Amino acid sequence: MKAVVVGGGLAGITAAIALAQAGHEVTLLEAKPRLGGATMSFSRDGLVIDTGQHVFLRCCTAYRGLLDRLGMAAHAPLQPRFDVTVVSPARRARLKRGRVPAPLHMLPALLGYPFLNFAERSRLSRAALAFKRLNEADPKTDELRLGDWLAAHGQDDRTRRVLWDLFSISSLNVPGDDASLALAATVVKTGLLGDAGAADIGVPALSLGELHGGAAERLLSKLGATVRLGTKVAAIEAVSSGGADFPHEGPRPPSRMGGSRPPSPPAIPPGPRTPRSMSDRKAKISDMLKGDNEFLIRLARRTQAGGAQAGGAQAGGAQAGGAQAGGAQAGGAQTGGTQAGGAQTGGTPDGQDGSPANDSTVDDSTVDDSAANDGAGNDGYADGGELILADAVVLAVPHEQAAKLIPDGALPAETVDGWAGLGAAPIVNLHVFYDRKVMDVPLAAAVDSPVQWVFDRTRISGMHARGDDGQYLAISLSAADEYVNMTVAELREMFVPALAKLFPEAREATVTEFFVTRERRATFRQVPGTARLRPSAATALPGLVLAGSWTDTGWPDTMEGAVRSGLSAVISLHDRLASTPSAAPQPAPRAERAFGHTLAGPKAQSAQSVVGPNAQSARWGAAGMGKLRLK
């Protein structure tokens, strides 16, 4: 079977590996000049910088399985026990789980939590017991705000700010009170109230670009898959099997998400348009469509103006983790608002907002929210690109792009229209360099401060390797609507003093560099009412499935959710094709080790309810991935 995966984030990587390991002919298409999606890195002054700080928990079994399959598990160690330092301008505390079974494992830490008084601590058990009774799969649960529910269960504003927000804001990327109760319950029940070790934190010891994108590219090459970087998809069309019908030509119908669709690329390979050449090309396409292929993927043609080389690493003149990405020049962090490989970058050159020359901003929107996949040719692409035929397609792109690319008839129009309601929420990361060590722990959470979470990135970035004795701290700001449009100077003025209040050693230290990375569309907005908008993997077209952390995984929009979506997409694809009478025979399961751990998702659904009537295909043996299963 010829399978094309559109999108090289964690969902697409996962699906491509699963399909390639099952023996299929796989092509992975990614518009950016590197794999990994939102988990990217770039080079700056000889240091490797992650645009965002991503951690995971022991309960993230699918993501851990992906790391293992990539050969990267050893480079993403887990804490022996959950252990987080919580700091404020007045004091610090330590949340550390005890050596006792769940649900008592967090009790000693919570009873001694100094940011709450005795009465507030005593009411925590009321909310915890209520969380245990919640059914997060009930649509009614998703209609409730977390803050309202917590208040109704004895959690006052102070308790919500200094305890519950520590976990909900970083996990759900919306203000704590505004979060969907269903998604919050998934976080709390799985991470905090589940197995004793479920919340143990894993922090990558390598740059994200190498941990995910670089490792995935090597593995896919080893498995015989084709990876095409800097390759933008303009359209996906379903074609009649065995027919010679030409793909759609002429104006496309209006976009289901508003505005107008771009004109469809002509249904002939690029080149001179003489009558003879057009006739020859149409004949060639007619021959192509005589096979059993079900889908035609139109690629946008790269133009000289794009400044990017397909499959190569050059895009917009910015270096990113060994590949170039994003419009930021290594060593200068110059950002020009250009689009590189489908990701829109923006910001200002160093110092142009009145900040010092060593202050800068680098935007790495995980989604190009203007023209990422519209084929309009205004970002270095033009119509008339290459055509690819496939038996199956995994559409693993953000929901905005999926709405533009999904073929007519795959889903009801109202379903696709509804994806716009998922919205987008930003994350802002502040990168602060000191001339000396100021923080004595690898990571810390903050309360009573604009700082949320702060990480020591000194060793991972290679700072000491270049002979610098200072320290590099990265502040991660989730639910960052109030910060995403602030200038670098404004952010520095707010957060450098805030760090000095949290870490006394910073008061005498000198900030040698300060810059910002912004993920304007980091996740969908995980508020009440979004569960009904998240689609399952399957569509009405048996060979087309959806993947992405925004789809209905039962998990928040996280790395774990992305990997789960890729696995679910392959299971769904296998089930649908196996149940289609005209489907080509699928390869027999191969005796290989499991892709990862059992996906005992928070919904605790049966195999049939997740992947359809063929329960046996819920085991990854049926997809060529060993015995990994969804339940």
Residue 342 has pLDDT above 50, yes or no: no
Three-class SS of residue 305? helix
Alpha-carbon gap, residue 253 to 518, rounded angstroms = 34
Q: What is the mean pLDDT of residues 456-473?
A: 93
> In angstroms, rounded to a whole number, what is the distance separating the alpha carbons of residues 259 and 273?
30
Per-residue pLDDT, 103: 84
Residue 401, pLDDT above cutoff 70: yes
**What is the distance between the alpha carbons of residues 387 and 303, in angstroms, rounded to a whole number?**
17
Portion of the chain with pLDDT greater than 90, in percent = 65
Predicted pLDDT of residue 479: 98
Q: What is the CA radius of gyration of the chain?
A: 24
Q: Write the pLDDT tens digit of every residue in 47-56.
A: 999 999 999 9
Q: Do residues 572 and 537 touch, judged by C-beta distance below 8 A?
A: yes
Nearest to 595 by CA among 553, 567, 559, 571: 567
Q: Residue 310's closest CA among 206, 392, 228?
A: 228
d(CA 472, CA 462): 10
Q: Does 340 have pLDDT greater than 60?
A: no
Tens of pLDDT along 288-312?
Answer: 555 566 899 999 987 654 443 333 3
pLDDT surpassing 60 at residue 594: no
Q: Which of 392, 400, 376, 16 is nearest to 238 (CA)?
A: 392
Burial environment of residue 504 by CB neighbours within 10 A (0 to 12, 13 to 18, 19 or more): exposed
- Tokens 């925590």 correspond to 124
φ, ψ at 571 (rounded to 5°): -60, -50
**Are 541 and 575 spatial neighbours (Cβ–Cβ below 8 Å)?**
no
Give the Å distances, CA to CA, from 445 to 481, 501, 510: 19, 14, 22
pLDDT(199) > 60:
yes
Choose between 523 and 576: higher pLDDT. 523
Indicate whether 151 pLDDT > 80.
yes
The partner residues of 237 in beta bridges, in order of sequence, read 296
Name the pLDDT band for 456 (thresholds 50, 70, 90).
Answer: very high
Given a contact cutoff of 8 angstroms between Cβ atoms, the answer to whether 22 and 585 are in contact is: no
Confidence of residue 582 (pLDDT cuts 50, 70, 90): low
Q: Which of 399, 450, 448, 449 is nearest to 428 (CA)?
A: 450
Assess whether pLDDT exceeds 60 at residue 166.
Answer: yes
Encoded amino acid at 629, one letter: R
Q: How far apart are CA 173 and CA 520, in angstroms?
A: 12
pTM listed for this prediction? 0.80
Helices 10-21 and 215-222, interaxial angle, to 10°? 20
Element (DSSP H or E) covering residue 126: helix 124-133
Distance CA 297, CA 300 (A): 10
Res 292: pLDDT: 60
Q: How confident is the model at residue 286 (pLDDT cuts 50, 70, 90)?
A: low
Determine contact, residues 192/106, Cβ cutoff 8 Å. Answer: yes
Q: For strand 83-87 and strand 92-96, is the pairing parallel, antiparallel, or unpaired?
A: antiparallel
Phi, psi of 472 (to 5 degrees): -115, 115
**Residue 378's Cα: distance from chain center in Å?**
25
Write down the mean pLDDT value for the chain: 79
Choice among 115-129, 310-324, 348-362, 447-461 with the minimum mean pLDDT: 310-324
Q: How confident is the model at residue 282 (pLDDT cuts 50, 70, 90)?
A: low
pLDDT tens-digit map of 479-498:
999 999 999 999 999 999 99
pLDDT, one tens digit per residue, over 403-414 is 999 999 999 999
How many beta carbons lie within 10 A of that of residue 143, not counting itself?
14
Cβ neighbours, 10 Å, residue 400: 22
Could you read off the pLDDT of 184-195 as tens digits, one per residue?
Answer: 999 999 999 999
- Region 146-163 average pLDDT: 98
Alpha helices per DSSP H over 134-236 = 146-152, 157-159, 165-172, 181-187, 208, 215-222
Of the listed ranges 219-228, 374-383, 415-424, the least confidently predicted one is 374-383
Using a 10 angstrom Cβ sphere, with 0-12 exposed, 13-18 middle and 19 or more buried, the burial of residue 352 is: middle
Q: Is the pLDDT of residue 455 over 70?
A: yes
Could you give the domains of the chain?
106-196 (1.10.405)
Q: Where are the beta strands (DSSP E) in 97-158?
A: none
Instruction: List Cα–Cα distances, 603 to 244, 561, 609, in angstroms.
Output: 45, 13, 10
Confidence check: pLDDT of 613 > 60: no
CB 179 within 8 A of CB 529: no
H helices within 331-456, ranges in order? 399-405, 413-418
- Say how many CA atoms lie within 13 Å of 7 toward its Cβ: 34
Residue 150 or 465, more confident: 150
Instruction: Please give the pLDDT value at position 61.
Output: 97
Worst-scoring range by mean pLDDT, 101-115, 153-167, 350-364?
A: 350-364
pLDDT band at 581 (very low <50, low <70, confident <90, very high): low
d(CA 236, CA 495): 45
Asked whether the bond before 139 is cis by omega within 30 degrees of 0, the reply is no
Angstrom distance (rounded) from CA 459 to CA 456: 8
Q: For helices 10-21 and 61-70, give the axis angle rounded to 10 degrees.
A: 60
Is the pLDDT confidence value at 107 over 50?
A: yes
Q: Rounded mean pLDDT of 219-234?
A: 97
What 3-state DSSP class applies to 67? helix
Q: Distance between CA atoms of 7 and 113, rounded to whole angstroms?
A: 44
Three-class SS string for 533-566? Answer: HCCCCECCCCCEEECCCCCCCCCCCCHHHHHHHH
pLDDT of residue 465: 86
User: What DSSP designation does 630 have?
Assistant: B
Q: How confident is the model at residue 505 (pLDDT cuts 50, 70, 90)?
A: very high
Q: From the DSSP assignment, how many helices (H) and strands (E) are in the chain?
A: 18, 26
Residue 19 CB contacts under 8 Å (≥ 6 apart), including other chains? 3, 5, 26, 225, 394, 570, 573, 623
Q: What percent of the chain has pLDDT over 70?
A: 70
pLDDT for 457 beyond 50: yes
Asked whether residue 351 carries a pLDDT value surpassing 60, the answer given is: no
